[in-house]
Structure 1
């Protein structure tokens, strides 16, 4: 007859099993750590590593975007900057979708001149109300910020009015014999027209500079 396992044998066997279980747990943990999990569902824009390549800690492996959370960056000129406010409605016209406008709202305004432009313009970021698969990062867009709406007002073509930061502008007005400079108070300014609050009367002839 063979003698059964001793207490020492059983203890060693149990220790071997425990070591194997711990090794398996570590292997599962290592496998989980090696798996990239996106923080949200989206579209991969860029992959910076290949299969089997060693990646340094903290190095970006890929770029991900959420197609349902699209943001547009526009710029506004210096004289319009004081008129733009967070929450205002914006109509956006994409070259990729010329037949339809997409609405959005002003989400944030950067009170610092754009470093990529030689003219005095300021970045404004627009959150789109809807975004479809037709839109992609880097597309060009024209935007119209709806500041306010006015009817039955005195107005001039925008090209004739260059408003200063305090809302005034100097115009050349024909008085019947010659031109005279006149300071006017400017109100709302659109893409085509500027509202004149004071300094002009209906019928006054403004001369282009």
Structure 2
């Protein structure tokens, strides 16, 4: 046999022994696993399911959510009148106070208009005051002197022309009588109006005044006819002058009338409104901060045009920040306004704040079949790192209890509308016990009744009863 053949036989024997050894090792390992699993099963049966004790402690119930941080208010400020910007006293990032002037327009034309309106108002006020005070003693004396002078001139003209003025004298007497009646009727009516007499009395006085005015007009017309019938022009002229002087005196003695005062009052009010409008236009040429806050943007510069259509400055109020979020039906039933809220942010590690639940929407909104309620959480933070628009995590504290019985949520099993726990008897067999639960924090639940402190209960009820295969799970 050649050396080559002998070497081939030797290699075959070595390979066969290696394969046999590997198979033997695998059989030993499999046998060990079976034995170990059987022993483990026996040990688990001896020890029973894992248990935990009912403990006593503090629990906090909460509802969680998240939302973007928003400012209390943000407004775009615009001039309420058009013009050219004169000065800008604010820049983006500035902190301003309420009432602080931020910018103003050129006001030369507005100031001139205001001065004219003020002058017109002062004139109307003086006229009204003078009218309300009535005729002065000097004016009355002057008017009376004019009547006496006109009477003397008329008498002289009659004598010179040798005119029989008997009919004219009668007409003049009737006119004088009508004048006196008119003065009395006007005075009675004015007094009644000033004293706010009943409407039926005012109606009677108004009717009397209207009739007296008709009688006066008739007497004046008759007098003028008599004057016109006189052939002598000098007598006619003197008679007309006398009638005019008497009418002026009567008007002064009877002034002011209610109508005169009403007209003057209306004119004064118009002048006042014009003055207020001029003042308003001048104020509108100045842009002031309506509240304390931070300037976000400035869109104007000195020399640029401004109007009510242009947002000149954007202002944000950071005095109170808030987070808007939405809660589902189950969560919104647990919260109420005024509850404390803990806030944190993933983007600002270590940042925490406390807030208050300030608003819960009275009605739900439905989107894609999901019902949610809008909720607002208010909090204060002056740190510049807490920027509007960042996402904040909120935890609304719905309830807090101390020194209560607690079990892990995993130890509870549902039973109808309630819950049960499993307690081991003396033989290590689990039995169901009904328990009354309270609030939960997501990890633990309050036990109101059913088990006592220190009672061992099954940590994972139901899992201990699963059959175990000899070869493991």
- Per the shorter chain, which TM-score range? 0.5 to 0.7
Which residues of 2 match residues 178-197 of structure 1 at below 5 A? 185-197=436-448
Partner of 2:318: 67
- Tell whether the 8 Å contact from 2:114 to 2:279 is kept in structure 1 after alignment: no
Matches of 1:62 and 1:158, distance apart in 2: 57
Match of 1:133 in 2: 384
Aligned mates of 1:109, 1:67 — CA distance in 2: 22
Instruction: Name the structure, 1 or 2, with higher relative contact order (CA <8 Å, separation 6+).
Output: 2
The unaligned stretches of length 5 or more in structure 2 are 1-111, 119-274, 464-473
Mapped partners of 1:189, 1:87: distance in 2: 21
Aligned partner of 1:21 in structure 2 is: 115
Whether 1:98 and 2:349 are equivalent positions in the alignment is: yes
Report the counterpart of residue 406 of structure 2 in structure 1.
154
* Alpha-carbon distance between aligned partners in 1 of 2:296 and 2:313, rounded to the nearest angstrom: 7
Aligned length in residues: 184
Structure 1 pair 48–108 and aligned structure 2 pair: CA distance change class (3 A): farther
> Secondary structure of 2:318's match?
coil
Return closer, same or farther for 1:115/1:140 CA change in 2, 3 Å cut-off. farther
Q: Would you say 1:78 and 2:172 are equivalent positions?
A: no
Tell me, in whole angstroms, the C-alpha distance in 1 between the residues paired with 2:371 and 2:462: 24
Whole-Å Cα distance in 2 between the matches of residues 116 and 204 of structure 1? 43
* TM-score normalised by structure 1 residue count: 0.61
Q: How does 1:106-145 map to 2 (within 5 A)?
A: 106-115=357-366, 119-145=370-396
In 2, Cα distance between the equivalents of 1:21 and 1:30?
Answer: 13
Unaligned runs of 5+ in 1: 1-17, 163-167
Distance 1:178 1:160, change over 3 A: closer
Judge which range, 139-148 or 196-205, deviates more: 196-205
Which one has the bigger strand percentage?
1
CA separation of 1:129 and 1:19: change in aligned 2, threshold 3 A: closer
Between Structure 1 and Structure 2, the one with more helix by share is 2
CA root-mean-square deviation: 4.5
- Matched with 1:11 is none
Distance in 1, matches of 2:410 and 2:316, equals 39
Q: Tell me the CA shift for residue 135 of structure 1.
A: 1.7
The secondary structure found in structure 1 opposite 2:115 is: helix
Cα distance in structure 1, aligned partners of 2:343 and 2:450: 34
- What's the CA shift for 1:139? 1.5
